[in-house]
Amino acid sequence: MVSLGPTTNRQATIRGSIGGGGTGVTRGLMNPNEPFSRRHGYAAPEAEITVREDAPDIVRSAVLALAHAHGLSPDTVRATICAVLLRTPDRNNWSSGNVAREAEDLVFEAPWFRVYDFAEGIYDVVEGQSWGRGETFAARLNEVFREHGIGYEMKEGRIVGRGSLAFREATEEAVRLMTMAHKPTAATEMRQALADIMRRPPDITGAVQHGMAALECAARDLMGQPRANLGQLLPDLELPKPLDEAVLSYGALQVSVDGTSQRGEIQSSRRQSWLSLPLQL
């Protein structure tokens, strides 16, 4: 493993802080190269999300430590953060220790959103060196996010927003059930709704629109009326209160006098049908 040079107090703290941790999944066959917690299926409880638009020191430290753990040299780490910040490396720093400290200073001084760009850049380097290793980097980084209440996660090498555990389980289960029931359109709409709500800043209107579209698709299949709109289907759905009233209220807010959305022209006839439901009831 390549050394990052003399260990600073900051580096020592974070290397220790991410050295344990696990996925919470007990494996049938233990890998002796994995840490104790991972071998035995121990994991810290998932903390409540308290951090959104920020990158606290634990995140910055974890990305640096994981880069080190995956064998990246100080020069590679510095080159990655410099590429993110569009900075030129200090030519006066050429020894391993000085380069490592320069990279560390750049990471800790970077704007919070650039830290997540840096994490994605490190993933790309690690994955490029050996296919599949990027996922181990992502898994360990996600453990840090969950344990410290960071409202992000890395999926397929990219940082995305995440909700609470209960929210994720409920929404992922909805998509899974729609897919198993062979409702691909409804499942696609629900996935898009989740993507919208996880954006930063979140696209609340888009998320609700796609969620309502998923409801309409599922309702059409359930009631056997492929051409009906949600307004026509709603009475027979027997939605519990106050959900039924919320559906009507949202539609009323989205439709103007001439039948167009406040966000602009409705390009999808399917969305037009449910957006205009209050006019048809």
Joined tokens for residue 159: 């940082």
Q: What's the confidence (pLDDT) of residue 171?
A: 64
Strand partners, 159: 154
Cα angle: 66, vertex 30, 72; to 5 degrees? 20
Contacts of 235 (CB under 8 A, 6+ apart): none
Which pLDDT score is estimated for 281? 30
CA 204 to chain centre: 16
Collect contacts of 120-124 with beta carbons under 8 A, ≥24 apart: 120/154, 120/157, 120/158, 120/159, 121/80, 121/81, 121/83, 121/84, 122/63, 122/66, 122/67, 122/70, 122/72, 122/77, 122/80, 123/154, 123/157, 124/157
Residue 93, token pair as written in the block: 């720093």
Spatial distance between the Cα atoms of 89 and 102, rounded to a whole number of angstroms: 8
Q: How confident is the model at residue 46 (pLDDT cuts 50, 70, 90)?
A: confident
Tokens of 222: 């359930």
Angle at 88 between CA 84 and CA 92, to 5 degrees: 135
191 pLDDT more than 50: yes
pLDDT tens for residues 48-74?
Answer: 889 988 999 999 999 999 999 999 999
Per-residue pLDDT, 275:
37
Whole-angstrom CA distances from 151 to 50, 98, 142, 156, 200 are 7, 33, 10, 17, 10
* pLDDT of 266 above 50: no
pLDDT above 80: residue 249: no
Per-chain mean pLDDT for the chain: 76
pTM confidence score = 0.58
φ/ψ of residue 128, rounded to 5 = -70, -30
pLDDT at 259 over 60: no
